[in-house]
Structure 1
Amino acid sequence: MKRQYAVIGLGRFGGGVVRALVEQGMEVLGIDMDEDRVNEYSSIATHAVVADSTDEGVLKSLGVRNFEHVIVAIGENLQSSILTTLILKDMGIDKITVKAQNDYHERVLLKIGADRIIHPERDMGIRIAHQVVSKSVLDYLELSDEYSIVEMVAGSKIEGKSLLEMDIRAKYGCNVVAIKRDHEVIVSPHANQPVQEGDVLIVIGAEKDINRLEDNLMA
């Protein structure tokens, strides 16, 4: 049985979520007050409807309470985002993910019971900044305020050296969880795994430790 998702708000972010979920074979209900947006996604989502998500009766009539996960992707209207989240929480939705506009919005959403808050613009800005500043970082994902997972490309300095020789865990407090080499992905590489120039190391660790690793081995 396919997993069912509802996406409320079919702007750039919400629409992208709809496309990604459908591509993964999920059933998706798209909801927006803008008829043009609904028409745009009517042939993409499993169902797409024009509806006001701040009306509890409307959400109930659409059967939203039967969906295991609802993503609230409402854009600039913070009031609608907050009220919609509150209604969904009262309806007993298992999992509610909400797009936040700022830290104040996030605090309110957490207080009313949102399960996960995302900041797509802020998070993308952080990722781009790391890619622009660093020559070795290809991608960056913040896991918490302190820990991150980073993709960094191996340079000539560590060509032919094994993970054991570099002793990354002991010296830098980071873990290499995978190595990407051409079209191959080496998951949980063993200590004697040699690294080749151009390999992409997927590293998890504290921000300060990742920076030390990059400065000393990747630069």
Structure 2
Amino acid sequence: MKKQYAVIGLGRFGSHLARALYDEGNEVIGIDLNEEKVEAYQDSLSQAFIADSTEEASMKSLGLRNFDVVIVAIGDDMESSILTVVLLKELEVPYVVAKALSKRHGLVLTKVGADQVVFPERDMGLRLAKRLMHPNIIEHLKLSDDYSVEEIKIPSSLVGTSIQQLNIRKRYRINVIAIRHKTDKMSISPHPTDVLTEGDLLVVIGTNDDLKSFSDTLENQ
């Protein structure tokens, strides 16, 4: 089901996010004070508006309370991002996602009502560091401080091996929840007799320590 999104702040993060949501067939409006940025995305989004997100009249006129999600992607102006979140919650926007520049900024955004706070620069840095240290890890999704889901490339030495033969749960205390094949087809909850083929990616879940142990073992094979 397609949704309605509004992205406030069309900088690098906001513009890429807005375009990605729009390309998936959603209704997406972009909002920014900078006229050049708004003009640049007039034809790339459902609509784009020049507006001050801290002014109640401007936000009311856009009907943001009717959108499924509003993302506050304001760049370096922490005061504006905080005031914008406060205003959006006063306007009864159902779900507000806010970009934080620091841990303290994130805490303030949460306290003033943001439903979700994201740290794009921090998260990208952590993901890049993990990829550089562990090239076989294609994707990493943190579920909590202790648990994660990872998509791991299997070495050629494991091609032709079944899930049962790997004995991952017993040896590493992690679980295989899916296999992504080279064709991009996903096998959810694979059967123990399923055999790994060239280019397969294992989607596994477990504690961060156990996942690291498994990844380190694969790198040495």
The interval holding the TM-score normalised by the smaller chain is over 0.9
Question: What is the match of residue 75 of structure 2?
Answer: 75
Name whichever of 207-216 and 34-43 sits farther off. Answer: 207-216
**SS of equivalent to 1:138:** strand
Q: Please report the TM-score for the alignment, with normalisation by the length of structure 2.
A: 0.93
CA displacement at 1:218 relative to structure 2: 4.5
Counterparts of 2:172 and 2:79 in 1: how far apart (Å)? 45
Aligned residues: 219
The superposition leaves residues 12-66 of structure 1 with CA deviations (integer Å, 9 ceiling, x where unpaired) of 1110111111111111111000000000111111111100000112100121121
Gaps of 5+ in 1: none
Q: CA RMSD in A?
A: 1.5
Counterparts of 1:204 and 1:17 in 2: how far apart (Å)? 27
CA displacement at 1:160 relative to structure 2: 2.4
Q: Please report the TM-score for the alignment, with normalisation by the length of structure 1.
A: 0.94
Contact 2:182 2:198 in 1 (8 A): no
Contact 1:19 1:44 in 2 (8 A): yes
Question: What is the match of residue 211 of structure 1?
Answer: 212
Contact 1:127 1:141 in 2 (8 A): no
Counterparts of 2:126 and 2:58 in 1: how far apart (Å)? 38
What is the 5 A alignment of 1:112-127? 112-127=112-127
Question: What amino acid does structure 1 have at the position aligned with 2:66?
Answer: N
Question: What is the match of residue 43 of structure 2?
Answer: 43
Residue 192 of structure 1 pairs with residue 189 of structure 2: no
Gaps of 5+ in 2: none
Question: What amino acid does structure 2 have at the position aligned with 1:174?
Answer: I
CA displacement at 1:135 relative to structure 2: 3.2
CA displacement at 1:2 relative to structure 2: 4.6
Name whichever of 55-64 and 165-174 sits farther off. Answer: 165-174
The superposition leaves residues 63-99 of structure 1 with CA deviations (integer Å, 9 ceiling, x where unpaired) of 1121121000000000000000011111111110111
Counterparts of 1:67 and 1:156 in 2: how far apart (Å)? 48
Residue 8 of structure 1 pairs with residue 8 of structure 2: yes
What is the 5 A alignment of 1:56-95? 56-95=56-95
CA displacement at 1:144 relative to structure 2: 2.0
Name whichever of 151-160 and 58-67 sits farther off. Answer: 151-160
Question: What is the match of residue 154 of structure 1?
Answer: 154
Counterparts of 2:218 and 2:47 in 1: how far apart (Å)? 51
Question: What amino acid does structure 1 have at the position aligned with 2:90?
Answer: D
Counterparts of 1:218 and 1:163 in 2: how far apart (Å)? 18
Q: Percent identity?
A: 45
Moved over 4 A (4+): none
Question: What is the match of residue 178 of structure 2?
Answer: 178
